[in-house]
């Protein structure tokens, strides 16, 4: 096909995942706000009997945000970006189209079952891998279907060289497949013994080994769901939206391969001062600090892409979204290594500084980048103009304020609590009983919950804006274009 | 060099896989066997304790409570001896947690009693004013799923050679009996009655006398075993 022939891209699956991303986003953030208020006002735990306690709701918040909202967003962006940078339409292969639709169906069923089972308390207890074995198998199925889609589409591509975004999607696919398979090794007890619930399973690893495998998974599930595919998005959407070339190809190579090599080592920083061997803790700590290089490599590449074009921040809200996201990525990837230094970790571990760190990464970087991606895609998928630019601006400031309230309050709470736990008086006795270190946090928990609420309101504005764009936006004659240097 | 890979998806994917699997292989494999060796005196959980542990997991107690005492004076003063790898040998899954919204529970059996837990689980603020812990009244009415825990004990005994029905310390007695389903249920009921003799709630005592074990009893059996 010659270059001037227009390829008719198919967005049906991208639209479906956009929809689930928004729905799961609302659910996960709503639950997040509820459990944040529960910590400030514990009576809220008893609103729905055993199903409304913090313990039951927390995995729904984390899994909903990571595997509901973020994964949907990633898949939506994949089914949009991949066709364009590989120069091939999904429609050209009925098989790949069928795989993509099956991928969506299995994914959706898995996620709905996840909510039900977690509410019922059916959990393996492993963070971000709480789902029991039948659901683990379903995850494996939809993940492999995605893999078939990835390599299938690459197989029939017209553009010979794989664009940077595709690298990151391939890495995500392979890494999550490996991590999920090894961390979910479990024996279904009823199948083996013939007694009890068929959903129940027991981990193949025990104690320290289990912890090691789990945090190798836990840390890198964060890496390859919340970081790597999000970088894939920024590498595509920022140049497209700004009309600027990526600043440096060499820097993108260094950042990509550096990130892959270093990231997997850093899981050990979750286990500092635990019973895993000391050398592993030290490796985790050292590699976390080295991780600053590839992380900042990507982020700086993004900021320098805007060189000479900073005026766009004033007139294009999406550029504002993406620059904020890149900046929060920098903040988060310097904060993480600081927490991984042993002496800092001694104070920070087990405190609220950790959720604080997670949330400046997720709220500032992941959610903002996905929202920017979906906003960029919407006019091109629905052939309609964005419904309201001023709503976008309002949303931006509401959510930015929310994030700042969130992480500042959690920094203070975490360091306060960490210092109180280890305070001794002049006679060599501990100064505070544990409950003293809990009651002191009440104001910070309240501030955090309010910050989360602001963020949720902003997300609802986003959802409304997307909904109106899809249904009532001004119809576009042709796709909006920016002076774009990259393929498609 | 990298540009060559960027045009060949298969080799690109292979290179990516080498990069990401390297760390796992180097980190995980060398000490895997050593770390799973139990310390002297560490025993598997009884079926009742295992059932309590599964309730602990079901309500995600590990979201807010750690079970890992780090080697600092401020932690050993507060919670007891720092944790050793071998003490976790029979923990499937591990329950170290990642956040201490509440205190560490690794050795809670050393300093809290059945009576304390009974009050605390029903109304935490009655024993710890200012607490943010939820009340768990449903544990006083829900009946424990003992079958699943027997299935789990049976599975780990046969698949992972967890030492049930054997003499671990060489004193001539079986340390943790499991036996058949009927024997295990009888044993669990005896243990449950040991717990309820220290409890005040009459409904709980009646339930256990009638052969049913409310969740709170199994949970307390588990918490008391943490030492």
Total domains in chain B come to 1
Q: How many CB atoms lie within 10 A of CB A116?
A: 9
Write the DSSP string, A434-458.
Answer: HHHHHHTTHHHHHHHHHHHHHHHHH
Domain membership flag for residue B210: yes
Give the max Cα distance, chain A: 83
Residue A419 three-state SS: helix
Predicted pLDDT of residue A485:
44
A355-366 burial: b if 16+ Cβ within 10 Å, else e? bbbbbbbbbbbb
Domain membership flag for residue B119: yes
Q: Please tell me the number of Cα atoms within 13 Å of A369 on its side-chain side.
A: 32
Domain membership flag for residue B20: no
Domain membership flag for residue B79: yes
Residue of A nearest to B154 (CA): A193
Task: Mark yes or no for CB contact A178/B17 under 8 Å.
Answer: yes
Predicted pLDDT of residue A354:
96
Give tens-digit pLDDT for B129-167.
999 999 999 999 999 999 999 999 999 999 999 999 999
Q: Out of B93, B131, B151, name the one closest to residue A189 (CB).
A: B151
Task: Mark yes or no for CB contact B58/A121 under 8 Å.
Answer: yes
Residue of B nearest to A421 (CA): B74
Domain membership flag for residue B135: yes
CA distances from A399 to A324, A408, A444 (A): 11, 14, 18
Q: How far is A439 from chain B (nearest CA, A)?
A: 6
Give tens-digit pLDDT for B162-198.
999 999 888 889 999 999 999 999 999 999 999 999 9
Whose CA is closest to A336, among A304, A370, A301, A362? A362
Residue B204 three-state SS: helix
Strand pairing partners for A201? A188
> Which range (A65-79, A178-192, B28-42) has the least confidence?
B28-42
Q: Is A369 exposed, middle or buried (0-12, 13-18, 19+ CB in 10 A)?
A: buried
Residues 6+ apart with CB under 8 A from A113: A135, A138
User: What pLDDT band is residue B35 in, cutting at 50, 70 and 90?
Assistant: confident
CATH value of A12-187+203-472 in 3.30.420.40, 1.10.1760.20, 1.20.210.10, 3.30.460.80: 1.20.210.10
Task: Mark yes or no for CB contact B155/A193 under 8 Å.
Answer: yes
Residue B80 three-state SS: coil
Domain membership flag for residue B52: yes
The span from the CA of A84 to the CA of A237, in Å, is 12
Q: What would the mean pLDDT of A280-289 be, rounded to a whole number?
A: 94
Q: Which two tokens stand for residue B185?
A: 């249920």
The span from the CA of A218 to the CA of A59, in Å, is 13
User: Chain A contacts of B99, Cβ < 8 Å?
Assistant: 350-352, 354-355
Q: Would you say the ipTM is above 0.90?
A: yes
Q: Which two tokens stand for residue A430?
A: 């501990």
CA torsion, points A349, A352, A353, A355, in degrees to nearest 10? Answer: 100
Task: Mark yes or no for CB contact B181/A261 under 8 Å.
Answer: no
Q: Which two tokens stand for residue A478?
A: 């042709």
The span from the CA of A68 to the CA of A54, in Å, is 19
Q: Please tell me the number of Cα atoms within 13 Å of A149 on its side-chain side.
A: 28
User: Chain A contacts of B9, Cβ < 8 Å?
Assistant: 151, 154-155, 162, 170
Domain membership flag for residue B60: yes
Domain membership flag for residue B128: yes
User: Chain A contacts of B107, Cβ < 8 Å?
Assistant: none
Task: Mark yes or no for CB contact A206/B19 under 8 Å.
Answer: no
Q: What would the mean pLDDT of B64-90 be, rounded to a whole number?
A: 96
Residues 6+ apart with CB under 8 A from A412: A444
Q: Supply the CATH number for residue B92's domain.
A: 1.10.760.10
Task: Mark yes or no for CB contact B12/A123 under 8 Å.
Answer: no
Query: Rounded to two decimals, what is the model's pTM?
Result: 0.95
The percentage of residues in chain A with a pLDDT greater than 70, rounded to a whole number, is 98
Residues 6+ apart with CB under 8 A from A353: A339, A410, A411, A413, A414, A415, A418
What would you report as the CA-atom Rg of chain B, rounded to the nearest whole angstrom? 22
Task: Mark yes or no for CB contact A54/B12 under 8 Å.
Answer: no
User: Chain A contacts of B12, Cβ < 8 Å?
Assistant: 162, 167, 170
Task: Mark yes or no for CB contact A273/B89 under 8 Å.
Answer: no
To probe the interface with A, which of B101, B111, B143, B146 has the most A CB atoms within 10 Å? Answer: B101
The dihedral built from the CA positions of residue B183, B184, B190 and B193, taken in this order, carries a sign that is negative
Domain of residue B139, residue span: 47-225
Q: What integer best gives the mean pLDDT of chain A?
A: 94
Task: Mark yes or no for CB contact A435/B61 under 8 Å.
Answer: no
The span from the CA of B193 to the CA of A62, in Å, is 39
Residue A1 has pLDDT above 50, yes or no: no
Q: What would the mean pLDDT of A458-474 be, rounded to a whole number?
A: 95
Task: Mark yes or no for CB contact B134/A127 under 8 Å.
Answer: no
User: Chain A contacts of B152, Cβ < 8 Å?
Assistant: 189, 193, 196, 200, 202
CA distances from A404 to A146, A302, A407, A451 (A): 36, 22, 6, 8
User: What pLDDT band is residue A482 in, cutting at 50, 70 and 90?
Assistant: low
User: Chain A contacts of B95, Cβ < 8 Å?
Assistant: 125
């Amino acid at each position: 096909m010659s270059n001037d022939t227009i390829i008719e891209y198919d967005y049906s699956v991208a639209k479906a995942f956009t929809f689930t991303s928004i729905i799961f986003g609302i659910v996960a953030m709503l639950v997040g706000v509820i459990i944040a208020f529960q910590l400030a006002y514990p009576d809220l735990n008893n609103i729905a009997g055993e199903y409304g306690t913090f313990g039951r709701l927390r995995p729904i918040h984390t899994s909903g945000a990571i595997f509901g909202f973020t994964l949907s967003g990633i898949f939506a962006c994949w089914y949009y970006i991949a066709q364009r940078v590989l120069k091939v339409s999904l429609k050209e292969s009925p098989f790949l189209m069928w795989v993509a639709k099956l991928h969506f169906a299995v994914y959706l069923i898995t996620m709905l079952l996840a909510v039900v089972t977690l509410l019922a308390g059916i959990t393996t207890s492993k963070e971000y891998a709480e789902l029991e074995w039948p659901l683990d198998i379903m995850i494996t199925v939809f993940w492999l279907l995605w893999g078939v889609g990835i390599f299938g589409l690459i197989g029939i591509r017209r553009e010979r060289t794989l664009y940077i975004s595709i690298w990151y999607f391939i890495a995500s696919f392979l890494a999550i497949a490996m991590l999920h398979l090894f961390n979910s090794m479990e024996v279904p007890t009823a199948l083996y013994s013939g007694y009890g619930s068929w959903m129940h399973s027991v981990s193949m690893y025990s104690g320290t080994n289990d912890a090691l495998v789990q945090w190798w998974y836990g840390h890198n599930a964060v890496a390859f769901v919340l970081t790597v595919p999000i970088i894939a998005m920024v590498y595509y959407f920022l140049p497209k939206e700004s009309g600027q070339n990526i600043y440096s190809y060499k820097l993108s190579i260094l950042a990509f391969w550096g990130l892959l090599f270093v990231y997997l080592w850093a899981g050990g920083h979750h286990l500092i001062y635990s019973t895993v061997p000391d050398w592993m803790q030290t490796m985790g700590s050292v590699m976390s600090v080295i991780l600053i290089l590839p992380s900042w490599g990507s982020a700086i590449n993004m900021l320098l892409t805007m060189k000479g074009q900073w005026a766009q921040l004033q007139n294009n809200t999406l550029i504002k979204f993406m620059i904020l996201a890149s900046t929060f990525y920098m903040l988060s990837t310097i904060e993480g290594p600081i927490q991984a230094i042993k002496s800092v970790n001694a104070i920070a571990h087990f405190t609220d500084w950790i959720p604080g760190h997670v949330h400046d990464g997720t709220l500032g970087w992941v959610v903002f980048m996905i929202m920017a991606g979906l906003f960029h895609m919407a006019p091109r998928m629905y052939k309609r103009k964005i419904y309201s630019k001023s709503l976008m601006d309002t949303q931006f400031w509401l959510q930015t304020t929310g994030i700042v309230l969130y992480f500042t309050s959690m920094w203070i709470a975490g360091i306060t609590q960490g210092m109180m736990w280890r305070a001794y008086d002049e006679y060599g006795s501990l100064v505070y009983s544990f409950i003293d270190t809990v009651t002191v946090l009440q104001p910070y928990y309240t501030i955090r919950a309010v910050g989360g609420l602001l963020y949720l309101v902003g997300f609802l504005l986003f959802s409304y804006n997307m909904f109106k764009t899809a249904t009532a936006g001004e119809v576009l004659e042709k796709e909006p274009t920016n002076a774009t240097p990259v393929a498609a | 060099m990298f540009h060559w890979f960027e045009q060949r998806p298969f080799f690109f994917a292979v290179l990516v896989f080498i990069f990401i699997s390297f760390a796992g292989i180097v980190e995980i494999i060398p000490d895997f066997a050593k770390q799973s060796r139990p310390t002297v005196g560490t025993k598997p959980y009884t079926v009742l304790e295992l059932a309590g542990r599964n309730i602990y997991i079901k309500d995600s107690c590990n979201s807010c409570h750690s079970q890992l005492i780090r080697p600092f004076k401020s932690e050993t003063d507060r919670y007891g001896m720092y944790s050793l790898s071998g003490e976790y040998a029979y923990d499937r899954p591990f329950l170290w947690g990642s956040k201490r919204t509440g205190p560490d529970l690794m050795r809670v059996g050393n300093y809290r009693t059945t009576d304390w837990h009974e009050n605390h689980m029903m109304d935490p603020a009655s024993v710890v004013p200012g607490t943010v812990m939820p009340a768990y009244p449903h544990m006083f009415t829900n009946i424990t799923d003992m079958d699943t825990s027997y299935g789990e004990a049976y599975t780990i005994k046969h698949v992972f050679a967890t030492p049930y029905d054997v003499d671990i310390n060489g004193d001539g007695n079986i340390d943790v009996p499991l036996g058949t389903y009927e024997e295990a249920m009888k044993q669990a009921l005896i243990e449950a009655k040991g717990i309820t003799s220290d409890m005040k709630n009459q409904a709980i005592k009646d339930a256990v006398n009638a052969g049913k074990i409310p969740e709170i009893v199994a949970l307390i059996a588990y918490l008391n075993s943490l030492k």
